[in-house]
Amino acid sequence: MNIAQDPVIYTDETVFLKDYQKPTFLVNSVYLDIQVYDDHTIVDAVLDMKRQTSGNLVLLGRDIELKEVQLNDQVLSAEQYQLDAEQLVILNAPEHAIIKTKSIIHPESNTMLEGLYQAGDIYVTQNEAEGFRKITFYPDRPDVLSVFTTRVEANKKFPVLLANGNLLETGQAGDDRHYAIWEDPTKKPSYLFACVIGDLAVLKDSYVTSEGREVALEIYAEDKDIPKCHIAMEALKHSMRWDEEHYGLPYDLDNYMIVAVSQFNMGAMENKGLNIFNTSCVLADEAYTTDDAIMRVQAVIAHEYFHNWTGNRITCRDWFQLCLKEGLTVFRDQSFSEDLQSAAVQRIDDVSVLKAHQFPEDAGPLSHPPRPDHFVEINNFYTMTVYEKGAEINRMMANLLGKEKYRQGTDEYFRRHDGQAVTVEDWVYALSAGSGIDLSAFLLWYSQPGTPSLVAEGQYDQATESYRLTFKQRLKAHPKYPNLKPVPIPIALALFHPNTGEQYPLNSTALVSNQPDGVYLFDQEEAVIEFTGLTEQPVVSLLRNFSAPVNLEFDYSDEDLAFLIQHETNGFNQWQATQTLLERILLKDHVADIYIQALTHALPQLIQKDPLLASRLLDVPSESYLASRIDHNYQPFTVFEKREALLNALAQHLGGFWKETYHALNPALQTEFSQAKGERALQNIMLSFMARQGDADVFTLAEQQFYQNKNMTQRVGALKVLVWNDAPIAKQALQDFYDQFKDEALSLDLWFMLQAAHPQATRETIQALTEHPDYDLGTPNRIRSVLGGLNSHPVHTWDFGVQHVIDLAIYLDQKNPILGARLLQVLSRWYTLAEPKRSEVKDVLLALQGQVKSKNVVETLTSMLSA
């Protein structure tokens, strides 16, 4: 099929960037009164609105029962407005309109986790992107900014009543009810509105900003979870300091609240002054959660805090600009995390995510530019491309400017646009103006889909002692984006002396002059650059630190890669060399010997110096990553077998190394988190290799590690080895884990995940887990733990996993379509499968079409089927 010739069809529900129009009315102020009762909630709203352009006064509203509407104190009769399932139109509205509405909503039966919903004992809101219109009638779009005052009233069994801003007043509302009034002085779009009503405990602290403002910090959670909030609190203070030091941005209110909820669709939400978090992104305690989860908590705390400036004070003009706030904020949280652990490892982890998830997304039917130009359901665009590729674009620009100029650029952005709703252009122009360097060519990155291929060739000339590099870039045609142009690709590089392993000084006029290391800015379709003064043919290392989000095609020899594993001083490229070599072994049948030798040389030293980086050098690309590199005729079982063979070879060839290293390490003696984490990661890797070797002591060691440690990373690592290898004690250990953690949802998620990820899991394994009394379709974390575990084996995904995903999609289509659409994407690479599997899965997806209704799931399914 020639996709380029297919007509591109849009449905009438599609929204286009090019159709953007200014709002007809602005809102000067909003007063909300939310009264929660067990079987309904009353919402009274007063909107002070002012006309800006001609047209109707339109208020968006969905699933709300409208009781009464007034315009300038007159109750409107049915002829004076129009109401349908999506909006309330006030006919003939004057210049200045005070709209009062009274309406009824049902948070107690809202399963979509959007708008106001009840989750266990608490009521919370989630309004990004378009949830506010499920609370009250409102011009629910990000370019309408207003000042919010909120009164919340509820039964006293809910002692905590929170909303954005400062607490103005509290009081009684009858015998068993009470209220609180909050006022948020900063203008904000409705998607940042939040309120919380519940029975929660709180951890308090405080922070003094660079401007001398004392800020009360509060983290709300269930009573038993308060001890697990300290890491988040420290991370919050650290983030506040970090943003002052790196961006000159202090916090602007007198309080900052975070609320932890166990039923939440994503990680967390940056509501102004009142963040709401998935418990998985706040609660952190080494006895209950893993090292990876602890890192994630710190990153998400920073992410949401950083949104206060990049997202909240400066927000998006429309939802097409989503990557303006997300791409920039992810780049900021990644930079923050580079201070928490070895920067090379942080970069490795971020690029691993990008390559394992964003690259495949961008190579398949769901591909879209970081700033899409049309969508049906915006919730389907909270994607890897918007977040992670968006972050990479900012990183490229920041690196190119260098620290000082980048700061001048961001200063200019905050100076120009504070308090505004802006576009990606506004950001890039402000960065350019502030730094004095024109970055407008980078706008192409935002508007074009697909991962560019960077094709490079090197040629050494002994006579002139010179080395030439030829670069070409290729962009894959996309039916909806026909005229792709070459993008600016910063290529960081180094040349190494082949014998000494030392870096050559770089002699070339082509390099960007303000960079201490070699960077070439490649912005043509093709270019050649030359280096001189090279006495021997150099070993080149390209795209150091992953300087651009591209697919590099360069004909390294296996020996060059082995050389880089040993000599590259950039930790990221050292890791990349292992991955490139492994990918060849796994997908192109290269022999493993060179890799094993290089590893044997590099590892022992590195384990001493940087155990965490050492653990990453032992990464073997996952089956799903390998699958993402195969575009047709993908046979899951073949990939599985090859990977197993390699792992077995590694297990055998390194002989006693695994056990010796296991015993040589002692994470308990490491005081520094990153070091301890590295040692724990290594010990877990060692255990699994010993299991592969069939080592006689492995179960004893795993049992000791499981029962003698209180650290969750160690316990789960050991439990995996016991369970996945069906050790005699496996059942007992699982039961003991369950008994100990049955009331700890996040720990129990690990228990579910680990069993779903059993290498010999079957349809029955999954069925037993989903029928377990602790399995809960109302809690996305639990659904994801089973699906995530299952998915760690693509052989299972494409076997019994397909039906599991389809069942979830059908159920969630009605109950929680945001989540349903996301989970369905697990099957998005169906078209790469070898026949007959490909047709089988396609038929299942076609059959699903008639069974789903939500915009979310329908749009995702339609795109998936367009492959």
| Binding footprint of ligand TRP on the chain (CB under 6 A) | 126, 128, 265-270, 303-304, 326, 382
DSSP character at residue 19: G
Rounded to an integer, what distance in angstroms lies between the CA atom of residue 784 and that of residue 788?
5
Q: How far is CA 146 from CA 48, 114, 311, 526, 605, in A?
A: 9, 21, 15, 50, 58
Residue with tokens 């893993």: 290
Here the tokens at position 518 are 């070699």
Q: Name which of 236 and 651 has its Cβ closer to ligand TRP.
A: 236
Q: Name which of 112 and 592 has its Cβ closer to ligand TRP.
A: 112
Cβ at position 398, least distance to Zn ion in Å: 18
Q: Report 267-286 residues binding Zn ion (CB under 5 A).
A: none
Quick note: the x/- pattern for Zn ion over 328-367, rule CB under 5 A, is: -x--------------------------------------
Among residues 222, 304, 703, 744, the one annotated as catalytic is: 304
Q: Decide: helix, strand or coil at residue 163.
A: strand
Q: CB under 8 Å to 245, separation ≥6 — which residues?
A: none
Q: Name which of 383 and 432 has its Cβ closer to ligand TRP.
A: 383
Residue 447 interface partner, choices Zn ion, ligand TRP, none, CB cut-off 5-8 Å depending on type: none
Q: Name which of 62 and 303 has its Cβ closer to ligand TRP.
A: 303
Q: Name which of 329 and 337 has its Cβ closer to Zn ion.
A: 329
Total residues belonging to the chain:
867
Helices first, then strands: H and E counts in the chain: 28, 31
Q: Taking a C-beta distance cutoff of 8 angstroms, is the pair 389, 442 a contact?
A: no
Rounded to an integer, what distance in angstroms lies between the CA atom of residue 177 and that of residue 173?
5
Q: Decide: helix, strand or coil at residue 258.
A: strand
Give the residues across from 25 on adjacent strands: 51
Cβ at position 221, least distance to ligand TRP in Å: 17
Q: Name which of 269 and 745 has its Cβ closer to ligand TRP.
A: 269
Cα end-to-end span (Å), the chain: 10
Here the tokens at position 264 are 């939440």
Residue with tokens 């002139």: 464
Rounded to an integer, what distance in angstroms lies between the CA atom of residue 794 and that of residue 562?
29
Q: CB under 8 Å to 589, separation ≥6 — which residues?
A: none
Rounded to an integer, what distance in angstroms lies between the CA atom of residue 527 and that of residue 470?
6
Cβ at position 115, least distance to ligand TRP in Å: 11
Residue 361 interface partner, choices ligand TRP, Zn ion, none, CB cut-off 5-8 Å depending on type: none
Give the residues across from 548 on adjacent strands: none
DSSP 86-110: SEEEETT--SEEEEEEEEEE-GGG-
Q: Which stretch binds Zn ion (CB under 5 A): 58-66, 326-334, 617-625, 760-768?
A: 326-334
Cβ at position 418, least distance to ligand TRP in Å: 20
Q: Name which of 325 and 643 has its Cβ closer to Zn ion.
A: 325
C-beta neighbour count of 204 within 10 angstroms: 9
Q: Name which of 225 and 326 has its Cβ closer to Zn ion.
A: 326
Cβ at position 267, least distance to ligand TRP in Å: 6
The gap from C-alpha 632 to its chain's centroid, in whole angstroms, comes to 27
Q: Is the dihedral of CA 13, 18, 19, 21 positive or negative?
A: positive
Name the nearest CA neighbour of 199 among 259, 157, 258. 157
Rounded to an integer, what distance in angstroms lies between the CA atom of residue 143 and that of residue 729?
59
Q: Name which of 383 and 473 has its Cβ closer to ligand TRP.
A: 383
Cβ at position 20, least distance to ligand TRP in Å: 20
Q: How far is CA 467 from CA 470, 531, 539, 541, 573, in A?
A: 10, 5, 10, 13, 21
Residue 333 interface partner, choices Zn ion, ligand TRP, none, CB cut-off 5-8 Å depending on type: none
- For residue 392, indicate whether it is catalytic: no
Cβ at position 145, least distance to ligand TRP in Å: 17
Residue 367: phi and psi, rounded to 5, are -60, 135
Residue of minimal Cβ distance to ligand TRP = 266
Q: CB under 8 Å to 150, separation ≥6 — which residues?
A: 31, 32, 33, 34, 163, 164, 165, 181, 182, 183, 184, 193, 195
Q: Name which of 100 and 303 has its Cβ closer to ligand TRP.
A: 303
Q: Taking a C-beta distance cutoff of 8 angstroms, is the pair 329, 596 a contact?
A: no
Q: Taking a C-beta distance cutoff of 8 angstroms, is the pair 103, 96 a contact?
A: no
Cβ at position 303, least distance to Zn ion in Å: 6
Cβ at position 866, least distance to ligand TRP in Å: 25
Cβ at position 265, least distance to ligand TRP in Å: 4
Residue with tokens 């004992």: 121
Cβ at position 198, least distance to ligand TRP in Å: 18
Residue 268 interface partner, choices Zn ion, ligand TRP, none, CB cut-off 5-8 Å depending on type: ligand TRP
Q: Taking a C-beta distance cutoff of 8 angstroms, is the pair 288, 318 a contact?
A: no
Q: Taking a C-beta distance cutoff of 8 angstroms, is the pair 482, 449 a contact?
A: no
DSSP 563-588: HHHHH--SHHHHHHHHHHHHHHHHHH
Here the tokens at position 179 are 């209220």
Cβ at position 330, least distance to Zn ion in Å: 7
Q: How far is CA 762 from CA 10, 433, 765, in A?
A: 40, 59, 5
Rounded to an integer, what distance in angstroms lies between the CA atom of residue 172 and that of residue 106?
24
Q: Name which of 267 and 759 has its Cβ closer to ligand TRP.
A: 267
The rounded radius of gyration (Å) of the Cα atoms in the chain is 28
DSSP character at residue 497: -
Cβ at position 378, least distance to ligand TRP in Å: 9
Q: Name which of 149 and 278 has its Cβ closer to Zn ion.
A: 278
List active site positions: 304
Give the binding site for Zn ion (CB under 5 A).
326, 329
